[in-house]
Copies of this chain bind each other. A is one copy, B any other.
Amino acid sequence: MHDTPSKIGETPLQLTDDGYLVWRKFLKGLNLKLDEYRILCRGIIEGVYSEPMLATIIARAYYKPLKPDEIHKLTMAFVETGDTIEFEGKYIVDKHSIGGVPGNKVSLLVVPIVAAAGLKIPKTATRSITTIGTAEKMNIFAPVDLTAEEVKEVIKKAGGCIISTRKLNLAPVDDVLINIQSKLRINPISLMVASILAKKKAMNIKYMVLDIPQGRGTKVRTMKEATMLANRFIMVSESIGINLRCAITYGEQPVGHTVGVALEAREALETLQGGRPSTSLIEKSVGLAGILFEAIGITSEGNRLAKNILESGKAYKKFREIIEAQGGNRDIKIDDIPIGTYTAEIKSNANGYVVQIDNKLIMEVARRAGAPADIGAGLIIPYKGGRYVREGDTILKIFSNNEARLDKAYRFALENMPIVIEGAVRRIVRGL
């Protein structure tokens, strides 16, 4: 024990308990055994490790990424720290996104489309206090913090749900790590893979489609990185018995035309009802649902089947069933969803095409307007990339329930111009 080799830069190892030794071994980048990952995870849950020690666990994964077999073991150890839920039936499926793109309300469409096709899709989302999360959007329509018993009941009734993981105790060790990661704003791939897959494994998901938004302003910039990440997810999925397909999607601008909890809920509802369709939102939703249909083998033309289900109104009907099963008001109308009472508009100062919509700036404007805490805060982006706008057209509409915040968001947007019109003057810098 005292003969463990030390290296320069490390204080010689002290004789102490397993939790310390395992942490140390992980830190050094050595390949742990499953039992050692169990000790590590139990230690994390039990508060054996200080916050700085937890931060070094994140840093280890950041600087020395875990190999697939290590992620496999870590994922299994993650699962073991919490509860698991078993659903009846063969086709228990799910859809997940690694995130990073504003306005990504596709789960609100994918879940009813998939459930309407007769599959069971118990979609879980982690509650987020910093981003505009799926659970928050669904919460506009119905309660989302369900217990395991309630989830099973909803799936039995409606075939689908969109719920938070709050009461499910799925891989709780992950929540501790996620907390530190969000403080540090570092989210190493290996931990991301373990985190997502452990929660799905705990829900006994058998088939899954994973959305990997790619491009400037997302988490994954190049196609090469996206492919690498997809392979990593697939390798680990296979090893834990989840049949996974990854969809690398275009992520350089928001999905649909809205950003913000209530605004996105409205847009999703409107799209389900067949009104004012947003191409990007519909195409992405039916694309993801279609991949699931093909994976399971119920059709060789998944995209078409998904589109039919959406356009026929079956998905909308299913969404109302899901809302009701989760305890919400199935008759909710778009105008029943309140949005920010204060608004401001930014108009184009030139004729031209929209050539860029900056995800980070868009999120920052929404944040300054009060999102996600203020569920009425957010943005409407009438023109997406490639569209032609005329001088004086509104290119950004900002909503908030707080006048001062609206003003801050408005001024920030004016100064930083998240939407770039070709030909327009972006900013004037004065000389002496």
Contacts and interface: CB of A to CB of B under 8 A. Distances in A.
A4 to B, nearest CB: 10
Contacts of A2: 358, 360-361, 364, 416
Interface in A43-57: 50-56
A2 to B, nearest CB: 5
Centre residue among A27, A360, A416 by max chain B CB count within 10 A: A360
A51 B62 contact: no
A422 to B, nearest CB: 18
Contacts of A65: 9
A240 interface: no
Interface string A50-76: 111111101110111100000000000
A192 interface: yes
A89 interface: no
A219 B11 CA distance: 6
Interface stretch (A165-173, A178-186, A375-383, A392-400): A178-186
Interface in A222-237: 225, 228-229
A204 B358 CA distance: 51
Interface residues of A, number: 54
Interface in A1-16: 2, 5-15
B217 A12 contact: yes
A11 B186 contact: yes
Given A186-B27, A229-B8, A14 B360 contact: yes
Interface string A208-230: 00000000011111000100110
B63 A64 contact: yes
A188 interface: yes
A52 B182 CA distance: 11
B186 A10 contact: yes
Contacts of A229: 8
Contact of A189 (B9, B15, B220): B9
A359 interface: yes
Nearest to A52: B55
A11 B185 contact: yes
Contacts of A358: 2
Centre residue among A51, A54, A183 by max chain B CB count within 10 A: A51
A15 B15 CA distance: 45
Interface in A349-378: 358-361, 363-364
Nearest to A418: B2
A190 B353 CA distance: 51
Contact of A59 (B8, B56, B192, B217): B56
Interface in A280-334: none
A56 B186 contact: yes
A372 to B, nearest CB: 14
A358 B8 CA distance: 18
A12 B361 contact: no
A360 B189 contact: no
Contacts of A27: 186
A187 interface: yes
A134 B24 CA distance: 28
A6 B184 contact: no
Contacts of A51: 50-52, 55
Nearest 9 A/B pairs, CB to CB: A59-B59, A52-B55, A63-B63, A55-B55, A11-B185, A9-B188, A2-B360, A9-B189, A51-B52
Given A15-B360, A55-B56, 11 more contacts: A2-B361, A6-B221, A9-B192, A10-B187, A12-B219, A13-B185, A14-B360, A51-B55, A52-B183, A53-B183, A53-B184
Interface of A: 2, 5-15, 24, 27, 50-56, 58-60, 62-65, 100, 180, 182-189, 192, 217-221, 225, 228-229, 358-361, 363-364, 416
